[in-house]
Structure 1
Amino acid sequence: MRKHYMRIPYTDVLASPTIIPKTSNTIAGAIAAIQEFFHASRSTVVLSGAGISVASGLADYRGAKGTYRVNKTYRPIYYSEFLQNHEARKRYWARSFLGWTTLLKAKPNAGHYAVKHLGDLGLVQSVITQNVDSFHPKAHPQLPTIELHGYLRSCVCTSCHEELPRDTFQHELARLNPAWEAFLQEILATGALDTENPDERRSKGLRTNPDGDVDLPDAPYTTFRYPSCPRCLTAPPIATDGSRARVEVDTDGAWKSTSTAGILKPAVTMFGENIRAPVKVEAEHAIENAGGLLVLGTSLATYSAWRLAKRAKDRGIPIAIINLGGVRGEDTFFADLDPSQEGSQGVRAEFSIGELLPALVEQMRQSSSMNSAQEDHNHSAEQHGASVFKDMMS
Structure 2
Amino acid sequence: MHVHRTPGGPESGPTNGPEGGPAPEGAGLAALERLLAGRDVTVLSGAGLSTESGIPDYRGATGSLRRHTPMTYQEFTASEQGRRRYWARSHVGWQAIARAEPNAGHRAVEGLRRAGYLSAVITQNVDGLHRAAGTVGAVELHGGLDRVVCLDCGRSSSRADLDRRLRALNGTLFVPRAALNPDGDVQLPGAVVDAFRIAPCEACGGVLKPDVVFFGESVPKPRVQHCYDLVDAARALLVLGSSLTVMSGLRFVRHAARAGKPVAIVNQGATRGDAYATATVPLPLGATLTTLLERLTTP
Q: How far apart, CA to CA, are the structure 1 residues paired with 2:243 and 2:114?
A: 27
Task: Indicate the residue corresponding to 1:151 in structure 2.
Answer: 144
Task: Indicate the residue corresponding to 2:58 in structure 1.
Answer: 61
| DSSP-derived class of the 1:215 partner | coil
Task: Indicate the residue corresponding to 2:169 in structure 1.
Answer: 176
Q: Which residue type is aligned with residue 30 of structure 1?
A: G
Correspondence 1:211 to 2:183: yes
1:372-391 equivalence runs, <5 A: none
**Identity percentage over the alignment?**
38
Q: Which residue type is aligned with residue 187 of structure 2?
A: D
Q: Which residue type is aligned with residue 353 of structure 1?
A: L
**Shift in Å, 1:68:** 2.2
Correspondence 1:362 to 2:272: no
Q: Which residue type is aligned with residue 151 of structure 2?
A: T
| DSSP-derived class of the 2:280 partner | strand
* Closer, same or farther: CA 309–219 of 1 in aligned 2, 3 Å: farther
Match among 238, 255, 263 for residue 294 of structure 1: 238
Task: Indicate the residue corresponding to 2:106 in structure 1.
Answer: 112
CA RMSD of aligned residues (A): 1.7
Contact 2:274 2:280 in 1 (8 A): no
**Shift in Å, 1:122:** 1.1
1:1-394 equivalence runs, <5 A: 18=2, 21-22=15-16, 25-39=23-37, 41-69=38-66, 71=67, 74-141=68-135, 144-178=137-171, 181=172, 183-184=173-174, 187=175, 204=177, 206-233=178-205, 262-331=206-275, 333-334=276-277, 346-366=278-298
Q: Which residue type is aligned with residue 347 of structure 1?
A: A
For each residue in 1:89-132, what CA deviation from the matched residue of structure 2 results, as whole angstroms up to 9, or x when unmatched? 11110000001110011001000010011112211011000000
* Closer, same or farther: CA 159–304 of 1 in aligned 2, 3 Å: same
| DSSP-derived class of the 1:90 partner | helix
**Shift in Å, 1:208:** 1.4
For each residue in 1:114-153, what CA deviation from the matched residue of structure 2 results, as whole angstroms up to 9, or x when unmatched? 00111122110110000000111121235x2110000000
In structure 1, the gaps of 5 or more residues are 1-16, 193-203, 234-261, 335-345, 369-394
Q: How far apart, CA to CA, are the structure 2 residues paired with 1:219 and 1:325?
A: 38
Task: Indicate the residue corresponding to 1:339 in structure 2.
Answer: none
Q: Which residue type is aligned with residue 275 of structure 1?
A: V
Contact 1:134 1:153 in 2 (8 A): yes
Q: How far apart, CA to CA, are the structure 2 residues paired with 1:140 and 1:127?
A: 12
Aligned residues: 285
Could you tell me the TM-score, scaled by structure 1's length?
0.69
Q: Which residue type is aligned with residue 273 of structure 1?
A: E
Q: Which residue type is aligned with residue 35 of structure 2?
A: F
| DSSP-derived class of the 2:164 partner | helix
Q: Which residue type is aligned with residue 246 of structure 2?
A: T
Contact 2:43 2:238 in 1 (8 A): yes
For each residue in 1:262-318, what CA deviation from the matched residue of structure 2 results, as whole angstroms up to 9, or x when unmatched? 100000011111112221121111111111000000000111100011011111110
Q: Which range moves more in the overlay, 313-322 or 277-286?
A: 277-286
Contact 1:37 1:347 in 2 (8 A): no
* Closer, same or farther: CA 218–26 of 1 in aligned 2, 3 Å: farther
**Shift in Å, 1:230:** 1.1
Q: Which residue type is aligned with residue 159 of structure 2?
A: R
**Shift in Å, 1:25:** 4.0
Q: How far apart, CA to CA, are the structure 1 residues paired with 2:3 and 2:69?
A: 32
**Shift in Å, 1:220:** 2.9
In structure 2, the gaps of 5 or more residues are 5-14
Q: Which residue type is aligned with residue 216 of structure 1?
A: L
Could you tell me the TM-score, scaled by structure 2's length?
0.90
Q: Which range moves more in the overlay, 209-218 or 106-115?
A: 209-218
For each residue in 1:198-234, what CA deviation from the matched residue of structure 2 results, as whole angstroms up to 9, or x when unmatched? xxxxxx3x2210011111244431111111111113x
